[in-house]
């Protein structure tokens, strides 16, 4: 397993994140975009790739979030598909092994209809990604997607076994589901892992600190990942209004790496 973290998207921040990664033993950076992905140019991606190479840091993952690939609105669906094609090309430029995207939603509340539509629409993009050497990991339990239960993934795998999970225990726990059950039953389908902790207090998420300072049991997570010989990235996600920005962001990254170290082979 390799350690990475989610980077800034502007070039000045990427330069600083590359320096931090190289200094602190993080091997890769992840880049995530929402609606702003429509404005990301090939020239920007080329500059990011150059910056990564200059510091000997990899791109672990490229993610696009919030694009509805099975929208009932034809124009919205077309825009989402254009972004997915763009993401595949950009991931290749960056040398990312994994592309993260979502499920979207066509019919709210109808899991079977959404699964069937996704399985009809997506093979073209999954095949193109595979031809480029990319694995596709689908985020779930995050809103804007029919993949908000373990059952949703299980139904989709019956039709599309070549898609994986972008696994985030905190998101699953926050959705009120058992984050260890997905690993116990389907760890082999995990293509990418986010490391994010949260500290629940008084019935709400009171803080999102470094791993080991909250409620998520990362030792148990890694146990299940070792059982399926997971060799991908553990990508730390600085998150929240305090730990997601300085002065705590860099401390969160250093403390999380320290917490995970006893579970990682060197």
pLDDT at 59: 98
- CA nearest 49: which of 38, 40, 37, 58? 58
pLDDT single digits (tens) 115-163: 999 999 999 999 999 999 999 999 999 878 999 999 999 999 999 999 9
Cis peptide before 247 (omega within 30 of 0): yes
Residue 36 has what pLDDT?
Answer: 95
Q: What is the pLDDT of residues 229-243, one digit of tens each?
A: 999 999 999 999 999
DSSP 37: G
Average of per-residue pLDDT values in the chain: 96
pLDDT exceeds cutoff 90 at 266: no
> How many CB atoms neighbour CB 216 within 10 A?
22
What's 228's domain CATH number?
Answer: 3.20.20.150
Q: How far apart are CA 266 and CA 252, in angstroms?
A: 21
Q: What percent of the chain has pLDDT over 70?
A: 100
pLDDT digits 0-9 by tens, 46-102: 999 999 999 999 999 999 999 999 999 999 999 999 999 999 999 999 999 999 999
The answer to whether 76 touches 68, Cβ cutoff 8 Å, is yes
Please give the residue range of the domain that contains residue 237.
2-263
Its pTM stands at: 0.95
pLDDT at res. 203: 87
How many domains, in total, are found in the chain? Answer: 1
User: Nearest 10 degrees: CA dihedral of 158, 188, 82, 195?
Assistant: 140
Q: Which sign does the torsion angle of CA 154, 176, 240, 259 carry?
A: negative
Beta strands 164-168 and 135-139, pairing class: parallel
Enter the tokens of residue 89.
Answer: 């090309």
Integer angstrom CA distances of residue 32 from 65, 157, 188? 7, 25, 24
Q: Which pLDDT value is given to residue 144?
A: 84
């Amino acid at each position: 397993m390799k350690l990475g973290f989610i980077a800034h998207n502007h070039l000045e921040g990427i330069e600083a994140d590359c320096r931090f990664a190289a200094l602190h033993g993080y091997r890769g950076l992840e880049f995530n975009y929402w609606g702003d992905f429509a404005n990301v140019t090939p020239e920007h991606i080329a500059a990011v790739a150059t910056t990564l190479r200059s510091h000997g840091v990899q791109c672990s993952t490229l993610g696009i979030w919030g694009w509805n690939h099975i929208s009932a609105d034809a124009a919205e669906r077309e825009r989402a598909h254009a972004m997915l094609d763009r993401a595949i090309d950009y991931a290749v430029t960056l040398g990312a092994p994994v592309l993260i995207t979502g499920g979207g939603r066509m019919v709210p509340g109808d899991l079977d209809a959404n699964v069937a539509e996704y399985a009809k629409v997506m093979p073209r993009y999954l095949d193109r990604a595979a031809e480029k050497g990319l694995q596709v990991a689908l985020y779930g339990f995050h809103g804007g997607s029919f993949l908000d239960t373990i059952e949703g993934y299980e139904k989709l795998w019956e039709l599309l076994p070549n898609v994986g999970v972008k696994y985030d225990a905190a998101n699953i726990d926050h959705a009120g589901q058992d984050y260890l059950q997905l690993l116990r039953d389907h760890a082999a389908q995990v293509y990418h892992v986010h490391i994010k902790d949260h500290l629940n207090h008084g019935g709400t998420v009171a803080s999102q600190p470094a791993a080991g300072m909250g409620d998520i049991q990362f030792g148990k997570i890694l146990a299940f990942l070792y059982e399926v010989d997971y060799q991908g990235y553990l990508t730390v996600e600085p998150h929240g209004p305090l730990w997601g920005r300085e002065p705590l962001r860099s401390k969160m990254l250093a403390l999380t790496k320290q917490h995970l170290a006893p579970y990682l082979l060197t």
